[in-house]
Structures are given as structure tokens and as C-alpha cells.
Chains A and B, each alone.
Chain A
Amino acid sequence: SYELTQPPSVSVSPGQTASITCSGNKLGDKYTSWYQQRPGQSPVLVIYQDTKRPSGVPERFSGSSSGNTATLTISGTQAVDEADYYCQAWDRSTVFGGGTKLTVL
């Protein structure tokens, strides 16, 4: 079965750029979505189709994908961005990554 791999944790200083990676076989040939989940809340879609932002998601969130890796980038990271982030792709079925805890120090 298809697998997506994320780093368990990423740390960033306020105002800096955070990058969270998601790896999977030929992931660049599929569309990747990203979800933000704050403690006790439901996941929220922040990026879909690799690079698109839903209405209401701040412009500091961006996505890219190539080869075997998709990347979620948060520019000018704010304390409010501290959360778990999950990538998701579709390979005959929906697959989620294991999640990355973003800490804003």
C-alpha cells in the first residue's frame, strides 16, 4: 500500500520560514493536500492540488511538489501556526502522512 512519510517535528522561530516535507513514491505525479490540526480541533484544509489555497487561508501558506517530495511552506510563521500538519494524497485510496508537529519557539 502507498505510504507518505513526514518528519515527526519541525521547529521554527517566529517570523521565520517553516518547511514541512512529505515523501512518497512518485508523489509529484499525484496531487497533495495539507491539513492543519490544532489540539482538540478538526483538521482544516490549508493547501490542495499541491499549490492551491482555500479561501480564508493566509497567503503565508504555500505548497510545492516535485519528484518524491511535497513541501508545505509557512512564511513569516506566527505563534498561531503552531499545530500538527498532515499531508494527504490519493493512490486508488486516500492516504495520510503520519503528521508533523510544528513548534514555534
Chain B
Amino acid sequence: QVQLQQSGPGLVKPSQTLSLTCAISGDSVSSTSAAWNWIRQSPSRGLEWLGRTYYRATWSNDYAPSVHSRITITPDTSKNQFSLQLNSVTPEDTAVYYCARGMYLRGFYYDYWGQGTLVTVSS
């Protein structure tokens, strides 16, 4: 059974960097059949996919155009986890952030999700 455990601060000041980590158990961040994703949810934007990291002989990342210039997703194979960094945050980035495992067959679906972290951007 795959489990994803999120950690990180729930309050970030405007213009600073949002950082969250997702620890994986029951699978490997280096799996060649899965991708490791960050998805957020807010009343104004609904569910919004932010990006993914995945290993297919080499490491790759895909990011949503809406956050492409501000986002970094990094795997940590030594701890079997992956992290999200979102720079220059504004109150518009206030949301519940989820990590999720993505599986691909003519498109991705997300079969395991973390518990969610409410991140508030406020001074």
C-alpha cells in the first residue's frame, strides 16, 4: 500500500518561497512506472496540477505553464521523497497543496494522494 506523508509550513509571507516535502512509503521515487506530482486546490482555481518529477533512465520534470517560472520539484532518492518549491508567492497561492502519485496510460491518473497541507500566504 502506497502512502504519501506531507510536511512543511502552513504560513508563508508574500514574496517568499513555499517549500513542502512528500515522503513516500510503499513505492520508490525512482520508480520507472510512476510520476510524483504536486496538485493544489483553492476555491477560486479548483484543483490545479502544478508539476511532476519522474525517472525514466534520467530524471525529468514537467511544470504547469501558470507556475513554470516559479516552481521547482526535486526528488531525494536517499530519503525516498520529493519536494516542492514555489518562489515569489502571493496571496493567490493560498491553497491546500497535495502530493500525488501519477500513473500513465494515454494520460495520467492519480491513484494515491497525500493528506494535504493548507498553505496560507500572508504577512
Interface on A for B, CB 8 Å cutoff? 30-31, 33, 35, 42-45, 48-49, 54, 86, 88-91, 93-96, 98-99
Contacts and interface: CB of A to CB of B under 8 A. Distances in A.
5 contacts: A30-B106, A49-B105, A88-B47, A90-B108, A93-B65
B110 A45 contact: yes
Interface stretch (B14-22, B87-95, B113-121): B113-121
Q: Which 5 A-B pairs have the closest CB atoms?
A: A90-B107, A94-B49, A96-B47, A33-B109, A48-B109
Chain B's interface size range is 20 to 34
A42 B111 contact: no
B76 interface: no
A39 B59 CA distance: 35
Main secondary structure of the interface of A (DSSP, over half): strand
Given A86-B47, A99-B46, A45 B98 contact: no
Pick from A44, A48, A54, A94 the residue with the most CB of B within 10 Å: A94
Interface of B: 37, 39, 46-49, 62, 64-65, 98, 102-103, 105-111, 113-116
Nearest to A40: B116
B110 A31 contact: no
Given A43-B98, A94-B49, A96-B48, A31 B105 contact: yes
Given A42-B114, A42-B116, A49 B46 contact: no
B47 A43 contact: yes
Contacts of A93: 49, 62, 64-65
